[in-house]
Structure 1
Amino acid sequence: MALKVAIVGLPNVGKSTLFNALTQTAAAQAANYPFCTIEPNVGDVAVPEPRLDALAAIAGSKEIIPARINFVDVAGLVRGASKGEGLGNQFLANIRDCDAVAFVARCFEDDDITHVEGRIDPISDLDIIETELMLADLESLEKRVVNLEKRAKGGDKESATTLRLVKLALAQLNEGRPAFTAEVAKEDDKAWRMLQLLTAKPALYVCNVDEGSADKGNSLSDAVAARAAKDGAKSVVISAKIESEIALLDAGERAEFLETIGLEEPGLNRMIHEAYKLLGLQTYFTVGPKEARAWTIHVGDTAPQSAGVIHTDFEKGFIRAETIAYDDYVRLKGEAGAREAGRMRLEGKDYVVQDGDVMHFRFNT
C-alpha cells in the first residue's frame, strides 16, 4: 500500500526543514525566503516499527523490510494562491494524489526567520490554507457541473451519482465549510474519493515549535491542537530544528539525545504513527528465516484482503491464514513455541486481521 502524505504550509513555517529531517537528506532546499521549494520533493521513509526488530531477532531473519510512507514537500502557498498569487495552482496537483495532508503551522518566535504575513499566528495561517484549498475545490467542481448534467440527463447513472456528490460538496463550500464536513453515505465513499477534493482529505496538524517546547508544546501549539480537535483532525508537536539534528545522529547517540531533552521517541515517529491512525491503518507481519516484513492494511480488513496486499493471487486463491498474535509470538519464542502452546490459530475468510498479527497464508494457485 503506497501511503502518501503531502506536507503543506505557508512559506517559512519549517516545511522543508521537517521534510529534510524525515528523509534524512538535504533534497529539499531549506532557505529563508518564499518559494525556495519550486518542485515537489518526494521522500520515501521507513515506518518506525520496533516490533519488527523483535520478531526478526527471534526468527533469525536475514533481512528486515519495514513498511514505507511517502512524504511530498509541496511548495509554500500564500494568500491568493488559488487565484494565481505566489506559485498559483502549481501546488494543487501535488496534493490531489496524496492520501492525507500534513498542515505545518509555525508555533515558534524567531526574528531571524521572516513570516510571509508579518506575524506569528498559526490559526490564521491554517485559515489561509483552508480558504485557498476551498477556493480551489470550488473552481474544480464548478467546471464539472455542465458536462455532468448533460450525461446525467442522457441516462448515465455514474454521472448522476457524481453530479449529486458534486452538488453536495458545492453546498458545503459555498457556505464556507470544507468538504470534509459533508455527510456522505457509505455506499458513496468511493465516488466521493474520486472527486479528489483537497478539503476532503484527512488532515494532520503539525505544530512546529521551538526547541524548548519540543516535549510539551506551548500556547501556540495548544491553540492548533484545539483547532484540530474541532475539525476532527489529528495534531502532533514537533521541533523541526531538533528533528533535523536527531536525523544526523546514529542510534546510540539518538537515544542519549532524546533522553537529554525529555523525549521518548523522535517527533517524526509520532507524526508517522498519527498519520496511520488518521487513515485507519494498521500493521501485520510475515516472519521467517529469509525476511521479517511489515505490511500495511486498513483496520477492519479481512484475512483475504490482507493477503492481497502481498499479491492479488493470494486473495483470489485464499484458503486459510496461520495466525499468531504478536505478544504470543514474542512470549513463546517464535512459531514453534506458539504452535506447541496452542497459540497458533487457523483463520478463515471472515477473520478480521488484528494489529500485530504474525501471519502465514495458504492459497490455491
Structure 2
Amino acid sequence: MFSVGIIGLPNIGKSTLFKAVTKIAVPISIFPFTTIDPNKGIVEVKDKRLEKIKEIVKPQKTTPAIIEFVDIAGLVREAHLGKGLGNKFLSHISEVDLLLEVVRLFKNEKVSHVENVIDAERDIEIIKNEIAAWDEKIISNFIENLKKKIKSSPLDEELKTENELAEQLKKFLGEKTWLLERIKQLPGETQVDMKNLGRKSAVLSVKPLIFLFNISERDLTKEEEAKLRTSFPYSFFIDLKKEEEISELSNKEKEELEVSSYLDDLILSCYNRLDLITFYTIKGGREIRAYELKRGEEIIVAAGKVHSDFQKKFIRVEVLSFKDLIESDSWQEAKKRGKINVKGRDYIVNDGDIIEFKI
C-alpha cells in the first residue's frame, strides 16, 4: 500500500488534518508534541470512473482504491541532532512514499507557535534544512559503506558507478534544494538511476512533496496566496478546522448547509503526485474493485496486487479499456465488437484498464 506522511512543525494542524481525512479520532491539543507515535489510517480515493462502471455492471459490492495517511510527530530546529522528537520523527518519514507538509498561516493567540511568530516561508525552510541535514548524514554513511565494498571488490564496476551517483547526490544535497526537484533537471535515464539510488540509500528528500497551507478566513490576500503558489507549485490552501467540522456532518447535513470539502481533491492530488494509476477487476459481475498501481508496472505486478495465486499461476489476461466499456455498455458487447485484448506477462498496465485474469 502507498502511504502519505503528514509532516510539519508542532501545533500547525497535522492531527486535525489526519482526523478530518481519515475520520479517526486522535488527540488534538494547543500544546506541542501531542502526537508522539504515528497515527495511521486508510483513505478511499474518489473515482468517477468506478461510479460509471458500477452503473453498467450493477454489482453487489464496489471497492475503491486506497492509500494510507500517517500523522507524524512535529519537527523543530536541530531535529537532525536529536532535538525535540528529531531522530524518531525523521525515521518515521523514511517509511512513507509522499510527504504532505502542513504549514501554519492561521492566527490564534491560544495556539502557540514554536517559533513564536507565524512565517510560512521560514517554517518551510526549517523543515527543508532539517531533512537535508539528515539526508547528508545518511548519504555520507552510504558512501562510506560503498567504499568498503569497493575496497573488497576493486573490479566491481557496478559498485563504482553506484559510488559516483552517490557522490553526485551528496553534492546536490549540499545545494540545500529538495533532492527530487534537482534530480528532475537531469537527463531521463540518469533521473531514473538517481531516484533508485535515493530510495536505496533511504534519503528523505527524494520523496515527492505537497504543501498544505492551513488558513482561516481573511488570513491571506490573493496576492500573498499567488506568491506562495509560485514559490511552492504543489500546494493547497485549506481551513483545516472547518474541514474537521465538515467531516463530522452527514451527507444530508452537508446538503442542507451547502458546504463541501476540499479533502477529496487533496487525496486525489496525493494519488497523482505518487504517479499512481488505477485498474479494475470485475469478479463474476458481483464485485467491482479498483486497485492502485505505480505507472509503468507490468501486468505481473498488478496480478500480485489482486491475489498472490494470480501472480504465481499467471497465464494471460483479457483487457478492456474504460473508454471501450463505456462505449459498448457491457463486457459482452465489447467482446462482440473485438474491443477485448488478450495480453501476456510483459503487458504494461494502462490507467483505466479493466482486467480479467486467466490462471
Q: Secondary structure at the match of 1:236?
A: strand
1:267 equivalent in alignment to 2:254: no
2:197 maps to what in 1?
191
Please say if residues 207 and 221 of structure 1, whose CA atoms lie closer than 8 Å, have aligned partners that are also in contact.
no
2:327, 2:166 → 1: CA distance? 52
2:59, 2:218 → 1: CA distance? 41
Task: Label 1:192 to 1:94 Cα distance change in 2 as closer, same or farther (>3 A).
Answer: same
Amino acid at match of 1:176: K
Amino acid at match of 1:193: R
2:221, 2:338 → 1: CA distance? 47
Q: Identity percentage over the alignment? A: 33
1:101 maps to what in 2?
99
| Offset from partner CA, 1:94-113 (integer Å, 9 cap, x none) | 10011110111123233332
Of 321-330 and 82-91, deviating more is 321-330
Offset of residue 339 of structure 1: 2.7
Amino acid at match of 1:225: R
2:279, 2:263 → 1: CA distance? 21
Task: Label 1:256 to 1:160 Cα distance change in 2 as closer, same or farther (>3 A).
Answer: farther
1:11 equivalent in alignment to 2:5: no
Please say if residues 211 and 241 of structure 1, whose CA atoms lie closer than 8 Å, have aligned partners that are also in contact.
no
What runs of 5+ residues in structure 1 fail to find an aligned partner? none
1:308 to 304, 321, 325: 304
Q: Secondary structure at the match of 1:79?
A: coil
Offset of residue 46 of structure 1: 1.6
1:220, 1:296 → 2: CA distance? 36
1:73, 1:146 → 2: CA distance? 33
1:224 equivalent in alignment to 2:220: no
2:209 to 191, 203, 213: 203
2:325, 2:6 → 1: CA distance? 37
Please say if residues 195 and 206 of structure 2, whose CA atoms lie closer than 8 Å, have aligned partners that are also in contact.
no
Amino acid at match of 1:145: I
1:212, 1:61 → 2: CA distance? 46
1:352, 1:147 → 2: CA distance? 36
What runs of 5+ residues in structure 2 fail to find an aligned partner? none
1:295, 1:221 → 2: CA distance? 35
Task: Label 1:18 to 1:64 Cα distance change in 2 as closer, same or farther (>3 A).
Answer: same
1:35 maps to what in 2?
33
What TM-score, normalized by structure 1, do the two folds share? Answer: 0.86
1:116 equivalent in alignment to 2:114: yes
1:136, 1:72 → 2: CA distance? 20
1:136 equivalent in alignment to 2:134: yes
2:317 maps to what in 1?
321
Query: RMSD of aligned C-alpha atoms?
Result: 2.6
Amino acid at match of 1:72: V
2:264, 2:335 → 1: CA distance? 33
| Offset from partner CA, 1:4-41 (integer Å, 9 cap, x none) | 111001112111100011110212x1111111111111
1:277 to 267, 272, 281: 272
Number of residues of Structure 1 aligned to a counterpart in Structure 2: 350
1:296 equivalent in alignment to 2:295: no
Amino acid at match of 2:252: G
1:86 maps to what in 2?
84
Task: Label 1:300 to 1:143 Cα distance change in 2 as closer, same or farther (>3 A).
Answer: closer
Please say if residues 179 and 206 of structure 2, whose CA atoms lie closer than 8 Å, have aligned partners that are also in contact.
yes
1:317, 1:32 → 2: CA distance? 54
What TM-score, normalized by structure 2, do the two folds share? Answer: 0.87
Of 241-250 and 68-77, deviating more is 241-250
Q: Secondary structure at the match of 1:13?
A: coil
Of 272-281 and 180-189, deviating more is 180-189
Please say if residues 237 and 267 of structure 1, whose CA atoms lie closer than 8 Å, have aligned partners that are also in contact.
no
Task: Label 1:247 to 1:160 Cα distance change in 2 as closer, same or farther (>3 A).
Answer: same
1:336 to 332, 335, 338: 332
